Amino acid sequence: MESSSVAINASADSTTDHQDSESSVVDTVVQYVVLRRDLIDTWPLGSVVTQGCHASVAAIWSNKDDAHTLLYCSPSNLDSMHK
């Protein structure tokens, strides 16, 4: 669950050609919502999508205190969430 970008500062390896500089690595948190195609034969597509939306919200709510979830749902990241 994740569109929040988490910056991790890492020191450059002293054995490489890099001098003592810091680089920033960005991890993007992505939430994957998987819908079962076989349900489309017995359920209306809207119902399948609705269940996926409910599962997505439940996953976020169940982990609402997790640092990654808080960053993913932060106001500054709402327009850039990855799903």
Q: How confident is the model over 11-63, as pLDDT tens digits?
A: 334 444 444 445 666 788 888 999 999 998 999 999 999 999 999 999 999 99
Q: Would the pLDDT of 77 be above 70?
A: yes
CB 24 within 8 A of CB 9: yes
pLDDT at 82: 79
Q: Which is more confidently placed, 23 or 71?
A: 71
Question: pTM for this structure?
Answer: 0.59
pLDDT at 17: 47
Q: Would the pLDDT of 67 be above 60?
A: yes
Q: Residue 30: CB partners within 8 Å, gap ≥ 6?
A: 1, 2, 3, 82, 83
Sign of CA dihedral 72, 76, 82, 83: positive
pLDDT at 22: 55
